[in-house]
Amino acid sequence: MSDAAQPTAAEVRAAAEAVKTALDRHLAAVERRTGEDDPAVYEAFNELAAAAEEYDELLYDRYDEVTPFEIPGAEETLPPYTGPEEPNALSVLIRRDYTVAEPQRLLAQAERVEAADEDSAPPASSAGTVHGALGVLFGEFEPDEIASRHKEFGLEEGDSTLWVTAADEPAEPGEWLEDPFEQIDPQRVVCRFDVSAVFDEETEDGDLEDDLGPDPEFDGELEDDADLEPLDADR
């Protein structure tokens, strides 16, 4: 960056003052919070994160220094919220990724579901392929139950995310079914929750390096010897 484009010392000082103000507002919002999902705390957190990021950038550009703290959050990937302050309707978007780790277990569980269904005739069985078995299991069980019992179905969890979006009015019945994810406005995302193995790996690697130093033979994977409960075919 050229000297002409560098921020002035006054700009850096102003950014530091903005961080102090945002910090005070965040503390005040926390002290007055009305619940775990208080929107005032959420807004104050985002303002503090934005102020800290601005100060960090200016500090680096002017003095080639950085701050010793980092404010985490998935909000970094989303624009500022511009939806209604009091939403009349909500949409919850969920994505969960799985790997078919044990196809034979998946097939066996789907066959047991079909066998327990008195209305399913053997010639109409669709549990003989992985594609068909997935259809049987996801048609029989709620997504949350599959998520909590995924190992029983021969599945291995990947990343997952949940977005809560706000709307002015509820959608008409059938309005968005043909293309349910096309018109999602990121600026109307009220909150989001992400789950990923990468978060656990970062924590585990940091703890190991702090305690023992880096281990070149550690691959970050831990064995799970928990017994799998059999599926109850009499559900």
- Residue 20: the pLDDT is 95
Give percent above pLDDT 90 in the chain: 40
pLDDT exceeds 60 at position 45: yes
Rounded Cα gap, residues 201 and 220, in angstroms? 6
Q: Which residues contact 106 (CB under 8 A, 6 or more apart)?
A: 100, 130, 133, 134, 137, 153, 154, 155
Mean pLDDT score across all residues of the chain: 79
194 pLDDT tier (thresholds 50, 70, 90): confident
- Residue 18: the pLDDT is 95
- Residue 172: the pLDDT is 92
- Residue 126: the pLDDT is 65
Find out whether 90 and 164 touch, Cβ atoms under 8 Å: yes
118 pLDDT tier (thresholds 50, 70, 90): low
- Residue 198: the pLDDT is 77
pLDDT exceeds 70 at position 215: no
Q: Using one digit for the tens of pLDDT, what is the confidence trace for 64-104?
A: 998 887 665 544 456 778 888 888 899 999 999 999 999 99
Summarize the confidence of residues 149-171 as an average pLDDT.
Answer: 91
Q: Using one digit for the tens of pLDDT, what is the confidence trace for 106-117?
A: 999 999 998 887
Higher-pLDDT residue of 142 and 73 is 142
157 pLDDT tier (thresholds 50, 70, 90): very high
Find out whether 36 and 45 touch, Cβ atoms under 8 Å: no
Task: Provide φ and ψ at 54, rounded to 5°.
Answer: -65, -45
HEC assignment per residue over the chain: CCHHHCCCHHHHHHHHHHHHHHHHHHHHHHHCCCCCCCHHHHHHHHHHHHHHHHHHHHHHHHHCCCCCCCCCCHHHHCCCCCCCCCCCEEEEEEEEEEEECCHHHHHHHHHHHHHHCCCCCHHHCCCCCHHHHHHHHHHHCCHHHHHHCHHHHCEEEEEEEEEEEEECCCCCCCCCCCCCCCCCCHHHEEEEEEECHHHHHHHHHHHHHHHCCCCCCCCCCCCCCCCCCCCCCCC
186 pLDDT tier (thresholds 50, 70, 90): confident
